[in-house]
Amino acid sequence: MAAAPAPARLVVLVLVAVVVGGDGGDGVIRQVTDGGYWPPGLLPEAQFAAFVRRHGREYSGPEEYARRLRVFAANLARAAAHQALDPTARHGVTPFSDLTREEFEARLTGLATDVGDDDVRRRRLPMPSAAPATEEEVSGLPSSFDWRDRGAVTGVKMQGACGSCWAFSTTGAVEGANFLATGNLLDLSEQQLVDCDHTCDAEKKTECDSGCGGGLMTNAYAYLMSSGGLMEQSAYPYTGAQGACRFDANRVAVRVANFTVVAPAAGPGGNDGDAQMRAALVRHGPLAVGLNAAYMQTYVGGVSCPLVCPRAWVNHGVLLVGYGERGFAALRLGHRPYWIIKNSWGKAWGEQGYYRLCRGRNVCGVDTMVSAVAVAPP
């Protein structure tokens, strides 16, 4: 009898509304903790008191405390909804559980685009594209790969309350490319990009790099090519706030020669983009990518294989550093391949600052905005 699944469909629709809809009053959001779990049955008030102690929160007064408690309670509901829609990952209380979704996205994402999947793909066409990998090259790729094991990735960084994810994604790609070219791993300056880069997209002039207000990795590459290069973190340290530009051309550590976008042409099974991204990752080093960070807001660990994750809202820049072959995903027919993604929210988020996301079929828009960079000889 076909009528039985209707209640299940209703439950899924309600959960989707919680995940992608409004905050329902005082919002919903949070990010990962360092792995702690609350005792079962603990009331939201007690959980919030523990959260405040654990993270050293200080609020302006009783009214603000009460407001943040309401936000925290709403985020508990959001985490439960995410857990139902993404059961192969772990979702729960994180260091950002007292922020509304709007606050979270403003402070901890920062891609300067609100275009959909098709628009992003069209905009990539005028940009230099990486030569597609041949079938022979794809067939020769290892089943798993991780640039961290090869020394091409710096430690996890923290962007703070600044929409500068695009700058961290950019420096990560340049750091990796420089390692491939020279064998030296340098910690490069995001603050230079935040303070000095105001480059606008070649097609959409309104989409400009704007410090903590957001930016695009491809814009940042263009800035670095025109400005002369990127300084080291020690010479231009990160502050988490936009200030006057202090770029010194005499202290440039790495010069960018060019960049390419990885434009996966979807194959018959929808997975050719996956193969092209893996080939580009192995060939060029860590890749700058954009994705929909909806589930990252509550992610604690595991392989994220959300049943629903719109591809059209790409709002967060991260660094793709590797891939694996066997991440367990019970609702996705056993073991599923996954991407290894470096984030910029500190080691207390996710898996020591990293995110594992299911590979294939452009999950959460991860193959929508992918780029590689090459550095000039020293």
DSSP conformation class of 326: E
- Tokens standing for residue 112: 């300067």
For residue 129, give the 3-state DSSP assignment: strand
pLDDT for 39 equals: 54
Residue 35 predicted with pLDDT over 50: no
Identify the pLDDT of residue 121. Answer: 45
**pLDDT on residue 341:** 98
Confidence at residue 263, expressed as pLDDT on a 0 to 100 scale: 77
142-145's contacts with Cβ under 8 Å and 24+ in sequence apart are 142/282, 143/325, 144/322, 144/323, 144/324, 144/325, 145/278, 145/281, 145/282, 145/322, 145/323
What is the amino acid identity at position 111? L
Residue 202 confidence (pLDDT): 78
Question: Where does the pLDDT of residue 361 fall: very low under 50, low under 70, confident under 90, or very high at 90 and above?
Answer: confident
Question: Of 18-27, 159-168, 169-178, 342-351, where does mean pLDDT reach its minimum?
Answer: 18-27
123, pLDDT greater than 70: no
Structure confidence at residue 346 (pLDDT): 95
Tokens of 216: 């695009």
pLDDT higher than threshold 60 for residue 188: yes
Q: Catalytic site residues?
A: 165, 316, 343
Do 103 and 351 form a contact (C-beta atoms < 8 A)?
Answer: no
Q: Are 130 and 260 in contact (CB under 8 A)?
A: yes
Token pair of 297, please?
């807001």
Which tens digit of pLDDT belongs to each residue from 224-251?
Answer: 999 999 999 999 999 999 999 999 999 9
Length of the chain: 378
Radius of gyration of the chain (CA): 21
Give the ranges where the chain is alpha helix by DSSP (H): 6-20, 44-55, 62-85, 101-108, 117-124, 135-139, 165-182, 190-196, 217-227, 272-284
Which pLDDT score, from 0 to 100, does residue 149 have? 98
- Fold adopted by 15-107: Helix Hairpins (1.10.287)
pLDDT at residue number 191: 98
- 3-state DSSP assignment of residue 335: strand
Map out the domains of the chain as residue ranges. 15-107, 110-375
User: Residue 28: CA atoms inside 13 Å, Cβ hemisphere, count?
Assistant: 23
Name the pTM for this structure.
0.85
Measured from the Cβ of residue 147, the count of other Cβ atoms closer than 10 Å reads 23
Cα(372)–Cα(183) distance, rounded to whole angstroms? 18
Residue 171: how many CB atoms within 10 A of its CB?
A: 30
Report how far apart the first and last C-alpha atoms of the chain are (Å, whole number).
70
pLDDT top residue among 92 and 267: 92
Burial grade of 53 (CB within 10 A; 0-12, 13-18, 19 or more): exposed
Query: pLDDT (tens digit, 9 = 90+) per residue, 39-82?
Result: 556 789 999 999 999 989 999 999 999 999 999 999 999 999 99
Confidence of residue 17 (pLDDT cuts 50, 70, 90): very low
A 10 A CB-CB count for 126 gives 10
Q: Residue 264's pLDDT is what?
A: 65
Q: Which residue has the tokens 């591809």?
A: 311
Mean pLDDT of the chain: 84
pLDDT at 15: 46
- CA pair distance 200, 205, nearest whole angstrom: 5
What integer pLDDT is reported at residue 29 of this predicted model?
24
Q: What is the Cα–Cα distance from 108 to 314, expressed in whole angstroms?
A: 14
* Tens digit of each residue's pLDDT (9 = 90 or more) over 247-277: 999 999 999 999 999 976 554 444 566 899 9
Give CA–CA dist 355/302, Å, rounded. 8
CATH superfamily of 110-375: Cysteine proteinases (3.90.70.10)
Determine the longest span between alpha carbons in the chain, in angstroms: 75
Give me the pLDDT at residue 21, please. 40
